[in-house]
A and B are shown apart, each in its own frame.
Chain A
């Protein structure tokens, strides 16, 4: 009889376990760990984004330069990056660099992988922005007697910039999400702190929903910025 009773109460417990058992106390207990992870996610994203921007600008410059020896290797780089998964690129560097005799900490390996990955996409974004400038603008620049550098500087880039910013922010969103993959090569960032908490306390719901919540916060900030830039910066012809 009593065994049956226990069985039943157990069932009732299971029924409303979805949120009733959600343990907020343990989340606050682990808050320093999460904030630490958040800090690292933020730092890694920022450093990788800046490096990726530089890579992207250089790659794009090489690609549109028309110099064959620069152009074709860059095209190969962009296509290879775009058609292989980031995780494979990360593992390639993580397991590959030591065989070349280069030993760097995981976090640097991760940043290099993110830089190379996002750099290729950013190069394409910038190129699309430059291509979006109307041909007539370039002709107008030519007939005003501007040389290539002047045309780039005074006519093409100012117009390309507005078109480029919203997709660049979109890429920044992707980059922040991509940093989560670094947890797989044991970089101590936000997702990793969720994994740590799960392995210590076995409370995956609390751990990963908190992690998801923090990512959502970053996402909404960047999304708001992207939407704002979309409204403000893209020049639309009136019709």
Chain B
């Protein structure tokens, strides 16, 4: 029986590859969006505009304090009531963006705050505008603190795309879930799903470890 199910699994393997492609698509799009929004919010958060800081702080607390499943349900079920009807894929991206940018915002703000205050003073006394100070002096130095945890966060975000399956995006976990109904070999099916996830995230974990060692010096 086992061998029969195995050959069936090999037969529908292309289906899994399609799921992997979808996972990659969700992950890639949302990582770009999260990084962009996260950097902007992080810079604003480390500025000294009190109102903005509070606002972003509240948003970050919400995004970090509630489970991602609940956030997806909020985006997918409640936003339509408020007049924002989304398909599954954009809803997934929006939920990922809401969650991921909050985490990246914290990493960026932490990195910027880690830069010595004297650098700001030196930059401003060189006559740079606020934006130039950030772009030319502060961010390049903060990058050393930001990059290792950022790559670690990317791994977490890629893994979190699996939760998107609950609203019916046909990605890898969803494919596994659909398959297990037809091929009742849970261990085999989800081991395959796990191996495919492993093949994306393990290289990134190695990269993150490498960067951590490299940047520490």
Contact = CB atoms under 8 A, between A and B. Distances in A.
A, B assembled together: yes
Given A92-B186, A219-B64, A84 B159 contact: yes
Contact of B185 (A80, A97, A99, A218): A99
Nearest to A21: B81
A205 interface: yes
Contacts of A98: 186
A83 B198 contact: yes
Given A204-B78, A212-B70, A96 B187 contact: yes
B163 interface: yes
Interface in B135-186: 155, 159-163, 165-166, 173, 176-177, 180, 184-186
Interface string A82-116: 11111111011011111110000000000000000
Interface string A206-223: 001101100110111001
Nearest to A218: B65
Interface residues of B, number: 43
Given A79-B205, A92-B187, A177-B67, A17 B74 contact: no
Interface in B174-217: 176-177, 180, 184-187, 189-191, 193-194, 197-198, 201-202, 205
A165 interface: no
Contact of A205 (B81, B180, B189): B81
Contacts of B159: 83-86
A181 interface: yes
B67 A178 contact: yes
Contacts of A80: 194, 198
B15 interface: no
A124 to B, nearest CB: 11
Given A91-B186, A99-B186, A204 B205 contact: no
Given A91-B176, A95-B180, A181-B163, A212 B74 contact: yes
B197 A216 contact: no
A87 B163 contact: yes
A180 to B, nearest CB: 3
Nearest to B75: A208
B117 interface: no
Contacts, number: 135
A17 B202 CA distance: 46
Nearest to A206: B78
Contact of B173 (A85, A100, A198): A85
Contacts of B197: 83-85, 88
**Majority secondary structure of chain A interface residues (helix, strand, loop or mixed):** helix
Interface in B20-51: none
Contacts of B180: 91, 95
B61 interface: yes
A199 B44 CA distance: 40
B66 A87 contact: no
B68 A85 contact: no
A14 interface: yes
B189 A85 contact: no
Interface in B62-104: 62, 64-71, 73-74, 77-78, 81-83
Nearest to B83: A14
Contacts of A178: 67
Contacts of B177: 91
Contacts of A99: 184-187
B201 A191 contact: no
A211 B62 CA distance: 12
A119 interface: no
Contacts of B187: 92, 95-96, 99-100
B190 A92 contact: yes
Contact of B67 (A18, A83, A181): A181
Nearest to A212: B66
Nearest to B189: A95
Interface of A: 14, 17-18, 79-80, 82-89, 91-92, 94-100, 177-181, 183-184, 191, 194-195, 198, 204-205, 208-209, 211-212, 215-216, 218-220, 223
6 contacts: A85-B161, A87-B163, A179-B67, A205-B81, A215-B66, A216-B62
